[in-house]
C-alpha cells in the first residue's frame, strides 16, 4: 500500500486547479503593491525604507498565516462528518493520520503557495541593504512554522466538531488559549506588578513574539529564546495533529443528542421555562427565518468580546503613553484603534451576512423553506433582524468611539482642523455605508457562492479589498508622478475625497444590483447549482 495515499492524491488534485496558480499570483502582486506603496511614500534613506518594507510585509504575512491556516482546515473534517462521507474512508485500511494529513495537504496547498509567493518580495529589502541574511531566513522560518501551526489548530478543532460555526469558534478559542493567553498573562504580570520579572517562557507559544525575535537587535540578546520558541510551536503543531489523528476514527459516528450531551441536560433544555426555549419562542413569534438565523443566544456577546479586546488594547496604549494619551502624539493610537473597530466589525458582518444563507443552500434547507408559506420578504427580513440583533448595538458603540476620537483629534491638534474633521467624518460615513452594502452584498453572495467560504471571500473582495487595491494604486501613481516631475504631490484632502468617492461608488455599484436581484430573483438563485451560477 502506498504511504500516505490520500496526501499524494489530494496534492495531485489541488495542483491541477487553476485557482491554485491564480491565488499565488494575486498574493505576489499584492505584496509587490504594498512594497511599492511603502517605498514610494517614504523620503527616508534606502536602508530605513527597506527595513520598513520588510517589517510591513512580515506583519501582513503573519496575519495571513494565522487566519488562512485556521480558515482552510477549520471545517475540513466536520464537513465530512455532516455529509456522512468520513465513515466510508474507514471501510478501507486507512488510518487516522492518513486522513488528517491528507486533508491537511489538500486544504493547505493554496495557502502554502501564497506564502511562498511572498518570500521573494520580502527578499528585496535584503538586496537594498536594509536587513541581513539572518533576519530574512529567521523570518521565513518563523512564518512557515506559524502557518503549519495554524493549520494544526484548525484541524484539531474540526476533528472534535460537527457544526461549521462551532468548528470556527473552537479553533479561534484554541488559538487564543495557546498563543495569546500565556503571553497576555506574562505581560500583565510584568506591567501591573513591577517587582516581578518578565517571564519570557510564557511567550514561547506566541507566533508574533517569535517574529519579534527575528530582528538582529533582538536576536542578539535572546538567541536561546528564539530557538526555544521555534521548538515549542513546532512541538505543539505535531501534538495537535497527533490528537486529531487519534480523535478522527473515534468521533466520526453520528451520535444522538442525548448520548452526546446527557439526558439531564437535554431535559433541562426542553423545559418550557428554560432560557433557550423562551429565547427561541420569542424569535419564532416575530419571524420564522429570524428564529433559524439567530437561535444562538450568545452570538451578540461574541461581538462585544471583540470590542472589549480592542478597548483593552487602547487602555494598554493609554497606560503606556501616560500623560500623553490625550495629546497629539497619541493620535496614532486612536487611528489604529478606529481601524481595528472598523475592519473587525466589517469582516464579521460580511461573514454573518453571507455564511448562514450559503450553509442553508448547501444543506438543502432552502428547498424546505421555499416550499412553506414563507415569502422572500420574510426570509430577507429575518436575516436583517438576525444581523440587527447581533451587530446593531456594537456598531453604534463603535461609531460613538470614533466620534470621541474625532473630538480628541480636533481639540488636541495644533493645525489642519478642517482636514482632520473631513478625514474623520469621511471615515465614519464610509463605515456606515460599507455596513449597509456588506449586508445586501453578503446576502446575495450567500446565494451565488459555491460554498460558505467562497461566499465570504466574494463579499469581502468586492466591498473591502477591491476599493483598497484601487486606492493603493492611486497613491502609488501619484507618488511616482511626484517623483518624476519634482512637483509637490496632491494635498491630503484630495486623497481623502478620492477614497470616500471610490468607496461610495463601489458600495452603490455592488449593493444596488444585489438588492434588486434579491427581491426579484431570490427563488431562481437559491434553486440553481453553484457551477451554473459561477
Both 18 and 72 in one domain: the answer is yes
Both 335 and 187 in one domain: the answer is no
CA distance 185 to 478: 45
Q: How far is CA 345 from the centre of its chain?
A: 11
pLDDT, tens digit, 9 for 90 and up, residues 134-192: 889 999 999 999 999 988 888 888 888 777 667 777 777 788 788 877 877 776 666 66
Final residue of a domain: which of 192, 218, 253? 253
Choose among 308, 300, 307: nearest CA to 352.
Answer: 300
416: left (phi over 0), alpha (psi -120 to 50) or beta: left
Both 218 and 82 in one domain: the answer is yes
Both 331 and 242 in one domain: the answer is no
Confirm whether 134 is domain-assigned.
yes
CB neighbours of residue 42 within 10 Å: 15
Both 308 and 249 in one domain: the answer is no
Confirm whether 278 is domain-assigned.
no
Look at residue 211 and give its three-state secondary structure: helix
At residue 512, the pLDDT reads: 93
Both 317 and 173 in one domain: the answer is no
42: left (phi over 0), alpha (psi -120 to 50) or beta: beta
Q: Where is pLDDT greater, at 166 or 340?
A: 340
Both 390 and 498 in one domain: the answer is yes
Final residue of a domain: which of 190, 220, 253? 253
Both 205 and 136 in one domain: the answer is yes
Confirm whether 293 is domain-assigned.
no
CA distance 28 to 114: 7
285: left (phi over 0), alpha (psi -120 to 50) or beta: alpha
Both 327 and 243 in one domain: the answer is no
Both 38 and 170 in one domain: the answer is yes
196 burial type by CB count under 10 A (0-12 exposed, 13-18 middle, 19+ buried): exposed
CA distances (Å), origin 22, targets 9, 147, 222, 469? 21, 20, 40, 17
Confirm whether 305 is domain-assigned.
yes
Confirm whether 279 is domain-assigned.
no
Count Cα atoms within 13 angstroms, Cβ side, for 217.
2
Final residue of a domain: which of 221, 253, 285? 253
pLDDT above 50 (res 61): yes
Residue 532 binned pLDDT confidence (cut-offs 50, 70, 90): very low
pLDDT above 80 (res 71): no
Choose among 179, 162, 16, 153: nearest CA to 71.
Answer: 153
Joined together, the cell numbers standing for residue 251 give 468521533
Both 321 and 451 in one domain: the answer is yes
CA distances (Å), origin 26, targets 23, 115, 403? 5, 12, 36
CA distance 395 to 106: 37
User: How many domains is the chain built from?
Assistant: 2
Confirm whether 38 is domain-assigned.
yes
Domain residue limits at 378: 298-534
Confirm whether 513 is domain-assigned.
yes
At residue 143, the pLDDT reads: 92
DSSP 248: G
Both 315 and 186 in one domain: the answer is no
Confirm whether 271 is domain-assigned.
no
pLDDT, tens digit, 9 for 90 and up, residues 260-282: 444 444 444 444 455 667 767 77
Asked if 439 and 349 count as a contact pair (C-beta separation under 8 A), the reply is: yes
Amino acid at each position: 500500500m502506498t504511504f500516505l495515499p490520500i496526501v499524494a492524491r489530494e496534492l495531485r488534485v489541488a495542483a491541477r486547479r487553476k485557482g491554485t496558480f491564480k491565488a499565488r499570483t494575486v498574493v505576489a502582486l499584492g505584496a509587490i503593491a504594498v512594497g511599492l506603496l511603502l517605498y514610494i511614500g517614504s523620503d527616508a534613506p534606502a536602508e530605513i525604507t527597506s527595513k520598513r518594507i520588510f517589517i510591513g510585509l512580515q506583519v501582513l504575512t503573519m496575519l495571513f498565516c494565522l487566519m488562512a491556516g485556521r480558515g482552510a482546515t477549520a471545517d475540513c473534517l466536520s464537513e465530512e462528518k455532516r455529509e456522512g462521507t468520513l465513515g466510508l474512508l474507514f471501510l478501507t485500511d486507512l488510518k487516522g493520520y492518513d486522513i488528517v494529513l491528507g486533508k491537511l495537504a489538500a486544504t493547505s496547498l493554496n495557502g502554502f503557495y501564497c506564502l511562498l509567493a511572498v518570500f521573494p518580495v520580502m527578499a528585496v529589502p535584503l538586496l537594498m541593504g536594509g536587513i541581513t541574511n539572518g533576519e530574512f531566513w529567521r523570518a521565513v522560518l518563523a512564518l512557515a512554522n506559524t502557518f503549519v501551526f495554524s493549520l494544526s489548530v484548525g484541524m484539531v478543532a474540526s476533528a472534535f466538531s460537527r457544526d461549521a460555526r462551532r468548528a470556527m469558534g473552537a479553533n479561534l478559542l484554541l488559538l487564543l488559549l495557546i498563543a495569546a493567553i500565556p503571553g497576555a498573562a506574562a505581560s500583565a504580570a510584568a506591567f501591573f506588578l513591577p517587582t516581578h520579572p518578565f517571564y519570557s517562557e510564557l511567550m514561547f507559544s506566541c507566533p508574533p513574539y517569535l517574529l519579534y525575535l527575528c530582528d538582529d537587535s533582538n536576536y542578539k540578546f535572546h538567541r536561546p529564546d528564539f530557538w526555544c520558541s521555534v521548538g515549542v510551536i513546532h512541538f505543539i503543531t505535531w501534538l495537535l495533529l497527533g490528537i486529531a489523528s487519534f480523535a478522527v476514527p473515534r468521533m466520526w459516528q453520528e451520535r444522538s443528542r442525548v448520548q452526546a450531551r446527557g439526558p439531564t441536560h437535554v431535559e433541562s433544555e426542553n423545559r418550557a421555562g428554560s432560557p433557550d426555549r423562551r429565547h427561541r419562542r420569542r424569535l419564532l413569534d416575530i419571524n420564522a427565518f429570524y428564529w433559524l438565523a439567530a437561535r444562538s443566544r450568545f452570538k451578540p456577546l461574541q461581538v462585544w468580546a471583540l470590542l472589549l479586546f480592542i478597548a483593552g488594547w487602547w487602555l494598554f496604549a493609554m497606560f503606556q503613553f501616560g500623560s500623553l494619551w490625550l495629546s497629539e502624539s497619541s493620535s496614532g493610537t486612536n487611528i489604529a484603534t478606529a481601524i481595528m473597530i472598523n475592519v473587525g466589525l466589517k469582516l464579521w458582518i460580511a461573514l454573518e451576512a453571507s455564511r448562514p444563507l450559503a450553509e442553508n443552500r448547501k444543506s438543502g434547507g432552502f428547498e424546505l423553506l421555499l416550499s412553506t408559506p414563507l415569502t422572500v420578504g420574510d426570509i430577507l427580513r429575518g436575516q436583517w433582524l438576525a444581523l440587527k440583533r447581533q451587530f446593531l448595538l456594537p456598531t453604534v458603540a463603535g461609531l460613538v468611539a470614533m466620534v470621541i476620537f474625532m473630538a480628541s483629534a480636533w481639540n488636541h491638534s495644533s493645525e489642519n482642523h478642517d482636514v482632520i474633521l473631513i478625514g474623520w467624518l469621511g471615515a465614519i460615513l464610509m463605515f456606515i455605508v460599507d455596513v449597509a452594502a456588506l449586508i445586501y452584498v453578503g446576502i446575495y453572495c450567500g446565494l451565488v457562492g459555491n460554498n460558505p467560504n467562497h461566499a465570504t471571500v466574494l463579499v469581502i473582495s468586492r466591498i473591502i479589498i477591491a476599493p483598497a487595491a484601487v486606492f493603493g494604486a492611486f497613491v502609488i501613481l501619484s507618488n511616482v508622478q511626484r517623483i518624476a516631475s519634482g512637483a509637490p504631490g496632491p494635498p491630503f484632502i484630495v486623497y481623502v475625497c478620492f477614497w470616500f468617492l471610490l468607496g461610495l461608488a463601489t458600495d452603490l455599484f455592488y449593493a444596488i444590483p444585489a438588492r434588486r436581484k434579491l427581491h426579484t430573483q431570490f427563488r431562481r438563485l437559491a434553486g440553481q447549482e453553484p457551477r451554473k451560477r459561477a
